[in-house]
């Protein structure tokens, strides 16, 4: 079974397989190899013991063999393969798909029940407030955004319907982003529109966060498509969208820091028809930026999801649901 | 009918019926890897028997797969001594003998009987102390008791409420992924 010790000990490995790199199984170990010449000679870059892997994120190309799948299954390793643009094309991990009681409970939850959704939105807003406070900025925009965000918090609890809750979340997010990225010509959040560097980078960060959270939810066997805040929507994994809400602040903070330190900059992008695309050679750096920010939180994410699972199954009162506070 | 009970899970069912549900949820992941310390010791104790290497005597049958249509049971026996018509279950250490362990032995006995073997006695063998502990054969009354137990197992509904025993939970390998408790197990 996965225990806290397990989560502490195991790591999330992100492997770049873009340039002439392969993964190979040898004597039960996973080798990352790189071609060194045109005659197919290879050198081993690293060896990864399966016992140390919690999840394997492969960016680029990989040959998946049954032996690799068997090993991943044996050691409970999640395998995620992403295109160079970080779009996941393959997600393999099913440690608890037989947890039908959990799924039953998810499906039985009344559509209009907003109790857990409110906890999640409340948590997200609290982290947005904290993130603004942590900037230590005392300018009018920041102070007024903090004040407004605080004023919306009690309204979350009073919401009587879904659209009202979504409305509050949207207004607060607008205030938060405008103040948080004020030094970087923030124009507004436009998911997937790639209209500027910050939006394009936030998309990358949130995508990584999404896959990261998905690994933990799969550990317990949740139906990823059934959320409590995000509604059923075709192929959307609504529960992952829900659970990532309190953790978005980690990405927001990383983007701000990256902009301030010039680790994220306009010159890293190509612009095509007004859309910003990260240059291929910059892929690795950007991934590293986000994984480095997220991996230290793996214990917190496990605790959060474990506690959420238990509260959900035991129909605990909303006050007992977990909070992730940055 | 595919609902066969693994003899090795009888003990777990007595320990906590819900652990059988969790066992089935998580059993696709490797058994060795997730077995906590006490279970691992048991596995090691069985290794010699399972690989049929602990005895070369002709009259000894090791790790024989057994099966009962009547009780919907399947599993393996540890040791059957043909000449003595004796069934033996080896354990590394026996601090006490629990009902579940006795049921496992009975289960093996019923399976063997149904398969045509004659079993006249059985015993536990404690490896650490090299001790043989004889166990009496079940009376017809005990057989009914066992039948009722198996039927409870077959009809178990994991969504039915259970009484939690925190002491058990803290020693349960499923504790970290169980929704019935907020405890951590002692192996964490
Ligand atoms: S943790 Fe407790 S309730 Fe859950 S399966 Fe184990 S003993 Fe049963």
The pLDDT score that the predictor gives to residue A305 is: 96
Of B102, B44, B114, the residue nearest B73 (C-alpha): B114
Tell me the pairing of strands B65-68 and B73-76.
antiparallel
Partners of A73 on chain B (C-beta within 8 Å) are 28-30
The pLDDT score that the predictor gives to residue A29 is: 87
Q: What number does the ligand 1 atom closest to the CA of B19 have?
A: 5
For residues B88-102, average pLDDT: 91
Question: What spacing in Å lies between the alpha carbon of B175 and ligand 1's midpoint?
Answer: 6
The pLDDT score that the predictor gives to residue B32 is: 45
Task: Write out pLDDT tens, residues B120-178.
Answer: 999 999 999 999 999 999 999 999 999 999 999 999 999 999 999 999 999 998 898 89
pLDDT at A313 over 80: yes
For residues A86-103, average pLDDT: 88
pLDDT top residue among A296 and B38: A296
Closest partner residue to A3 (CB to CB) among B29, B30, B188 is B188
Query: Are residues B177 and A75, on separate chains, in Cβ contact within 8 Å?
Result: no
The pLDDT score that the predictor gives to residue B35 is: 43
Q: How far apart are CA B54 and CA B58, in angstroms?
A: 12
Question: What spacing in Å lies between the alpha carbon of B25 and ligand 1's midpoint?
Answer: 13
At residue A220 the predicted structure's pLDDT band, cuts being 50, 70 and 90, is: very high
Q: How far apart are CA B7 and CA B74, in angstroms?
A: 6
Task: Write out pLDDT tens, residues B8-66.
Answer: 999 999 999 999 999 888 876 545 444 443 444 455 455 555 555 555 567 899 999 99
Closest partner residue to B29 (CB to CB) among A3, A76, A99 is A76
CA distance A91 to chain B (A): 17
pLDDT top residue among B109 and B51: B109
* Chain A contact probe: residue of B179, B182, B184 with most A CBs at under 10 A: B179
The pLDDT score that the predictor gives to residue B49 is: 59
Task: Write out pLDDT tens, residues A278-290.
Answer: 998 899 899 999 9
The pLDDT score that the predictor gives to residue A134 is: 97
Q: List A15's β-bridge partners, or say none.
A: A58
Q: What is the pTM of this model?
A: 0.85
Q: List B132's β-bridge partners, or say none.
A: B125
Query: Are residues A104 and B33, on separate chains, in Cβ contact within 8 Å?
Result: no
Question: What spacing in Å lies between the alpha carbon of B166 and ligand 1's midpoint?
Answer: 8
Task: Write out pLDDT tens, residues A38-58.
Answer: 888 889 999 999 989 999 999
Q: How far apart are CA A206 and CA A189, in angstroms?
A: 13
B157 near B144, Cβ under 8 Å? no
Probe target for ligand 1 pocket from B26, B164, B166, B173, with the most ligand atoms within 8 Å of CB: B164
Closest partner residue to B29 (CB to CB) among A73, A309, A314 is A73
Instruction: Supply φ then ψ for residue B40, to 5 degrees.
Output: -65, -40
Probe target for ligand 1 pocket from B18, B158, B173, with the most ligand atoms within 8 Å of CB: B18
Task: Write out pLDDT tens, residues A178-217.
Answer: 999 999 999 999 998 899 999 999 999 999 999 999 999 9
Percent of chain A at pLDDT above 90? 71
> How many of the other CB atoms lie within 10 Å of CB of A241?
19
Report residues whose beta carbon is within 6 angstroms of any ligand 1 atom. Answer: B 16, 18-19, 22, 164, 168-169, 172, 174-175, 178, 180-181
The pLDDT score that the predictor gives to residue A35 is: 87
What are the DSSP calls for B28-85, one per residue?
A: TS-HHHH--HHHHHHHHHHHHHHTT-S---TTEEES-EEEETTTTEEEE-SEEETTTT
């Amino acid at each position: 079974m996965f225990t806290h010790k397990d989560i502490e000990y195991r790591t999330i490995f992100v492997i770049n397989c873009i340039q002439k790199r392969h993964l190979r199984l040898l004597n039960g170990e996973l080798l990352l190899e790189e071609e060194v010449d045109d005659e197919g000679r290879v050198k081993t870059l690293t060896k990864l013991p399966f016992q140390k892997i919690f999840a394997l994120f492969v960016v680029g190309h990989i040959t998946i063999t049954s032996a690799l799948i068997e090993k991943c299954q044996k050691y409970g390793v999640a395998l995620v393969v992403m295109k160079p643009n970080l779009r996941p094309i393959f997600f393999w991990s099913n440690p608890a798909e037989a947890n039908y009681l959990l799924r039953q409970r998810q499906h039985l939850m009344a559509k209009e029940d907003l109790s857990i959704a409110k906890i999640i939105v409340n948590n997200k807003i609290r982290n947005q407030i904290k993130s603004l406070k942590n900037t230590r900025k005392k300018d009018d925009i920041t102070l007024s955004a903090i004040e407004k965000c605080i004023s919306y918090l009690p309204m979350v609890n009073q919401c009587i319907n879904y659209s009202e809750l979504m409305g509050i979340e949207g207004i607060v997010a607008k205030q938060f982003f405008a103040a948080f990225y004020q030094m970087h010509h923030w124009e507004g959040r436009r998911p997937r529109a790639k209209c500027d560097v910050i939006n394009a980078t936030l998309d990358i960060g949130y995508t990584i966060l999404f896959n990261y959270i998905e690994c933990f939810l799969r550990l317990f066997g949740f139906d990823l498509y059934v959320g409590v805040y995000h509604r059923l929507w075709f192929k959307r994994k609504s529960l992952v969208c829900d659970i990532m809400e309190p953790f978005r602040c980690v990405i927001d903070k990383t983007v701000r820091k990256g902009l301030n330190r010039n680790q994220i900059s306009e010159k890293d992008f190509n612009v095509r028809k007004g859309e910003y695309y990260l240059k291929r050679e910059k892929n690795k750096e950007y991934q590293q930026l986000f994984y480095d920010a997220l991996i230290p939180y793996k214990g917190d994410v496990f605790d959060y999801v474990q506690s959420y699972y238990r509260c959900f199954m035991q129909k605990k009162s909303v006050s007992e649901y977990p909070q992730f506070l940055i | 009918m595919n609902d066969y009970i693994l003899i090795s899970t009888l003990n777990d069912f007595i320990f906590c019926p819900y652990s059988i549900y969790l066992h089935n949820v998580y059993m696709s992941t490797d058994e060795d890897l997730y077995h906590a310390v006490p279970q691992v010791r048991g596995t090691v104790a069985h290794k010699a028997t399972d690989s049929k290497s602990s005895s070369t005597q002709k009259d000894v049958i090791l790790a024989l797969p057994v099966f009962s249509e009547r009780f919907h049971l399947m599993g393996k026996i540890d040791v059957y001594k043909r000449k003595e018509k004796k069934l033996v279950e080896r354990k590394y250490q026996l601090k006490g003998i629990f009902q579940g362990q006795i049921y496992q032995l009975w289960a093996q006995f019923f399976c063997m009987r149904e398969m045509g073997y004659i079993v006249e006695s059985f015993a536990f063998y404690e490896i650490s102390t090299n001790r043989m502990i004889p166990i009496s054969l079940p009376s017809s009354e005990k057989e009914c008791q066992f039948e009722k137990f198996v039927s409870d197992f077959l009809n178990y509904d994991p969504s039915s409420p259970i009484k939690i025993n925190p002491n058990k939970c803290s020693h349960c390998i499923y504790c970290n992924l169980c929704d019935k408790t907020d405890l951590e197990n002692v192996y964490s």
